[in-house]
Amino acid sequence: MLSFLFRRILIALPTILLISIFVFALQKILPGDPLLVLAGEERDPETLAFLREKYRLNDPIWMQYLAWVGNALQGDLGISLRTNQPVTELMAQKLPVTIQLAVMSMIFALVIGIPAGILSAVKKGTATDYVANIVALSGLSIPNFWLGIMLILLVSVKWQLLPASGYVPLSEDFWLSIKTMLMPSFVLGTALAATLMRHTRSSMLTVLSADYVRTARAKGLVERVVILKHALRNALTPIVTLTALLFGELVAGAVLTEQIFTIPGFGKLVVDAVFNRDYAVVQGIVLVTAVGFIFMNLFADAMYYVLNPRLRGQ
């Protein structure tokens, strides 16, 4: 098991390197000059020249990249061209926000998606199945920004039940923090729930037609036990993997949802940084997100290994 994980980490390292090169190059290919935006409306040529020098934008790209890698290895991801704040500090501010949003969304997704999937598999072909499918499809099809604005108008403006937008740290006011995050995580969660529901359904359908389920029924077990104890456990293995992967996606950015609900997380940070050509910030976020994503992948592999005893022998 350990050597398996170690191998996977070794494979991940070049991936991270490649991603950083790719993103660096991609940013430089983008048209537009960051300094024209940075130098202010009046664009004084002297200031422009100084800033180009300061941020090493006159150097060849490969030199800029090597300088960045050198600093990054020492834990220095540079400073934001826009606010002068260190990138590491910016991300330290955003990471808890993004993680809280991701965890809460995932809770919504699991609580809605898995029971709906089971129900729809067990009642396959009945009205319940169709309703569950329609709901799941709507969850996938309704754009997040639309659902978000509708919720704000209804829940916050009309009923005044929850704060309309923003973010309160957990440490500052626990319940207010949860309340503020409820709507955005619901919006994100419903979209994921649809994916989870579809996968749970198909996975359950496969398992339900397996021989051992027929055996269990033949033994005279109650249907509830057959489904929850025998079928579900086996059906869940792929779902666990999927959940870990979806979680990685969540951390990577709930860009639109964060924009609508004005949540100061990774997604909002990276979008604003791209528009402002804030190279260091984009680069830093992509790196950390890639590491996070790879880590979640690893976690998924490990979980698979733990859940599926057949793999352990290999």
Would you tell me which residues interact with another protein (CB under 8 A)?
30-34, 36-47, 50-51, 54, 80, 82-85, 90, 93, 149, 152-153, 156-157, 160, 163-167, 259-262, 264, 268-269, 272, 275-277
Q: Which is nearer to another protein, 117 or 163 (CB)?
A: 163
Nearer to another protein, 80 or 195 (CB): 80
Q: Copy the structure tokens of residue 240.
A: 């666990």
Measured from the CB of residue 47, what is the shortest distance to another protein in angstroms? 6
Q: Kindly state the smallest distance separating residue 24's Cβ from another protein, in Å.
A: 17
Which lies closer to another protein via its Cβ, residue 199 or residue 277?
A: 277
Cβ nearer to another protein, comparing 3 with 160:
160
Structural tokens at position 246: 């979806």
Q: How many residues does the chain have?
A: 314
Retrieve residue 180's tokens: 């503020």
The minimum distance between CB 236 and another protein, in angstroms, equals 38
Instruction: Determine the 3-state secondary structure of 79 from DSSP.
Output: strand
**How far is Cα 124 from Cα 180, in angstroms, rounded to an integer?**
37
Give yes or no for a contact between 149 and 260, defined as CB atoms under 8 angstroms apart: yes
Contacts of 140 (CB under 8 A, 6+ apart): 191, 194, 195
Tell me the closest approach of the beta carbon of residue 113 to another protein, in angstroms.
Answer: 27
Nearer to another protein, 203 or 278 (CB): 278
Q: What is the secondary structure of 162-226 as a DSSP string?
A: S-SS----TTT-HHHHHHHHHHHHHHHHHHHHHHHHHHHHHHHHHHHTSHHHHHHHHTT--HHHI
Q: Which is nearer to another protein, 54 or 124 (CB)?
A: 54
> How many other β-carbons are positioned within 10 Å of the β-carbon of residue 118?
22
Least distance from C-beta 29 to another protein, angstroms? Answer: 12
> What's the Cα-to-Cα distance from 290 to each of 16, 165, 200, rounded to whole Å?
7, 28, 27
Give least dist CB 92 to another protein, A: 11
